[in-house]
A and B are shown apart, each in its own frame.
Chain A
Amino acid sequence: MIPLEHYLYISAALFSLGVFGVLTRRNAVNVLMSIELIFNSANINLVAFSRFVEGALGGQVFALLVIVIAACEAAVALAIVMSLYRVMKNVNLDEAAELKG
């Protein structure tokens, strides 16, 4: 079978890719996609630990709640992106600096 560490390595790589995306993309929707990658990497960890720890199905319940919260986050964040687009006519995050002092 696949050892636990391999799941953890894959999850770590996915998390780092997500962090890279959040830090470097200009488009707000693309940043959201990177955040979804981070959610997924956390979920892989939760489910992997719930498999490798005896009788701990709570990890899967947690992963399910993470998926629900990811759906909420995507809906609200896209609403904010729409509002931003209405004001700025684009969604480049580096140009949204109106609140900067």
Chain B
Amino acid sequence: MESMGSAAIFYATAAVVLGSALYVVVGRNLVHSAFALVAAFFGVAVFYVYLGADFLAGAQVLIYVGGILTLLLFGVMLTNRIYNLNLRSGAIQVVPGALSAGLVFALLVWIIQSVDWGAMDSGDPGPTSESIGRLLVGDYLLPFEIASVLLLIALMGAAMLVRRRGSS
């Protein structure tokens, strides 16, 4: 009975994620789209909890909702005139776009159905932060260091790109 309730919550979350994702891509108001994206990110964090990835769920909320989304909202606010309160975003080439996206979806569904994944639920792995930390400074040390350098480069590059020319 408990697992039925948990499954119901899972599918409700899936509906929320897909619904808000749909609003992000078809909604007319940019700020509303950004807030629909918050719902989608939170829903994905719920999926991570279902998959037993507790550390990733926290990271998702902190980085995506706390960081990237704030950045995107800044982007919306700074690239539209403030007096222009209806921040509209039009759509172009809707029919070819829908056709391509539908084709991609059909292809993915076909692949998922035709492959025998033979997957067994390996059970709840328990708290993962310790093992992820050990992996990051062990097996995955090089990707970890490259990611740090990439973050530094992105930081400096972004600062340089938006600097006004000739104001050193």
Tell me, yes or no, whether A binds B: yes
Binding site for B on A (CB under 8 A): 1-10, 12-21, 23-30, 32-34, 36-37, 40, 43-44, 47-55, 57-58, 60-61, 63-65, 67-76, 78-83, 85, 90-92, 94
Does A19 contact B100, Cβ atoms closer than 8 Å? yes
Chain B residues, CB < 8 A from A28: 79
Does B157 contact A23, Cβ atoms closer than 8 Å? no
A interface SS class: helix
Give 5 pairs: A residue, B residue, CB < 8 Å, sorted on A: A8-B108, A17-B18, A67-B63, A74-B71, A81-B75
Chain A residues, CB < 8 A from B44: 40, 43-44
Measured CA separation A50–B159 after assembly (Å)? 36
Measured CA separation A17–B23 after assembly (Å)? 10
CB distance from A37 to the nearest CB of B (A): 5
| Chain B interface residue count, Cβ-Cβ cutoff 8 angstroms | 81
Chain A residues, CB < 8 A from B50: 2
Partner of A64, one of B56, B64, B150, B159: B56
Q: 10 closest A-B pairs (Cβ-Cβ)?
A: A21-B25, A23-B97, A20-B101, A72-B154, A16-B105, A79-B161, A12-B108, A27-B89, A52-B119, A24-B97
Partner of B51, one of A12, A32, A51, A83: A51
Does A61 contact B52, Cβ atoms closer than 8 Å? no
Chain B, range 47-65, C-beta contacts under 8 Å to A: 47-48, 50-53, 55-56, 59-60, 63-64
Chain A residues, CB < 8 A from B159: 79
Chain A residues, CB < 8 A from B154: 71-73, 75-76
Given A2-B10, A15-B104, A26-B92, A68 contacting B147 (CB threshold 8 A): yes
Does A1 contact B112, Cβ atoms closer than 8 Å? no
Chain B, range 77-120, C-beta contacts under 8 Å to A: 78-79, 89-94, 96-98, 100-102, 104-105, 108-109, 112, 117, 119-120
